[in-house]
Structure 1
Amino acid sequence: MHASRSFASASLLALALLAGCQAASTPAAVASASPRDDLLARGEYMARMAGCNDCHTPGYAERGGDVPKAQWLVGSPLGNMGPWGTTYAANLRLKLAAMDEATWMQYSASLHTRPPMPDFNLRAMHAEDRRALYRFIRALGPAGGKAPEFLPPGQPPAPPYMQLVLPASAPAG
């Protein structure tokens, strides 16, 4: 009985070693595809959950998120007018195409911009989430054109734009 258990153990060990040899001979491209795919899937998830498409993809909110990925994150001609002036959601696909990963990681960790961009959310993301966003957006490839330039307060934007009107301050009393 003891001999058959030893034989079975030795057989399992041999199979495990053979499986290890087979895995070691797998091409590097195949072996590394899974982590890359995971990072791209994570980046797509982050873009959806962080609301990037809400502003940076034309028609995304109006169509309930039913916009093909080929049209994602190309910026928007919709102005956001408020006391800060008028801002436009940047074309992230062109912006990130012009940055290497190290530049993006530094930029996204320290971004301070005008409303309505929730830059504080981007700065608060874990580095791996920001890296995943970068890789996903880069994988989409460059597309679209440059968004309109920021307009300072008092300079009227061309339509379309949304205007944020703040209530008057209550008198001190």
Structure 2
Amino acid sequence: MKTLKRACTAAGLFTLAAGLALPLAGRAQERDPDDLIQRGRYLAQVASCNDCHTPGYFMSGGQVPETLWLTGDNFGWRGPWGTTYGSNLRLYLQNLSEEEWIRDARTLRRRPPMPWFNLNIMEEDDLRALYHYIRSLGEPGEPAPAYVPPDQEPATAYARFPSPPPGE
């Protein structure tokens, strides 16, 4: 009987400790908004978001003021799919909730050269950080040029991707 009493008491203490720890674990995952924004800034740089989504970033080796980051670019990327442009991510996220962004980032496929497959597997915390960073940047600006189908000549400067090798 004493052993059963001890087991029940131990189980009760374990349940109480676990119940108290759960809210604390949740708080440990909450981040300071400034930390989240700084993490998003870092990710935008190391994931090369600016290379296509910031005017002149790639060609200047990243020497573009942050006030222009992720406002889209009018330099096109042309290949067998047509011509695509780095969209204005500030404008794109302006009317999306954080949850809509997460769902979108996980499911949408995009035209080349966007590495959508990398975005699809990005950690949720990182997607949230990017969202908060992009939303913190301020005025969204103007949209980037629209997609141009393969049979039409783009009106802007562009880089040409070769056709895929035969059999692919």
Say yes or no: TM over 0.5.
yes
Q: Contact 1:97 / 1:142 at 8 angstroms: preserved in 2?
A: no
Shift of 1:168: 5.4
Secondary structure at 1:81 match in 2? strand
Highest CA radius of gyration, 1 or 2? Answer: 1
Match of 1:42 among 39, 42, 45: 39
- Using the alignment, how far apart are the partners of 1:62 and 1:81 within structure 2? 17
Match of 1:120 among 104, 117, 120: 117
Q: Contact 2:94 / 2:140 at 8 angstroms: preserved in 1?
A: no
Match of 1:155 among 152, 155, 162: 152
Asked whether 1:57 is paired with 2:54, we answer yes
Q: Contact 2:36 / 2:129 at 8 angstroms: preserved in 1?
A: yes
Unaligned runs of 5+ in 1: 1-33
Asked whether 1:136 is paired with 2:133, we answer yes
Secondary structure at 2:144 match in 1? coil
- Using the alignment, how far apart are the partners of 2:73 and 2:151 within structure 1? 21
Shift of 1:121: 0.8
Shift of 1:166: 2.5
Shift of 1:167: 6.0
Secondary structure at 1:43 match in 2? helix
Secondary structure at 1:80 match in 2? strand
Q: Deviations over 1:48-104 (max 9, x none)?
A: 000000000011112211211111000011111100011111000011111111111
Whichever residue aligns with residue 49 of structure 1, its letter is: V
Match of 2:92 among 92, 95, 102: 95
TM-score by length of 2: 0.77
Paired residue for 1:8? none
How many equivalent residue pairs? 137
> How high is the sequence identity, in percent, across the aligned residues?
50
TM-score by length of 1: 0.75
Unaligned runs of 5+ in 2: 1-30
Whichever residue aligns with residue 97 of structure 1, its letter is: Q
- Describe the shift of the 1:168–1:37 C-alpha distance in structure 2 as closer, same or farther (beyond 3 A): closer
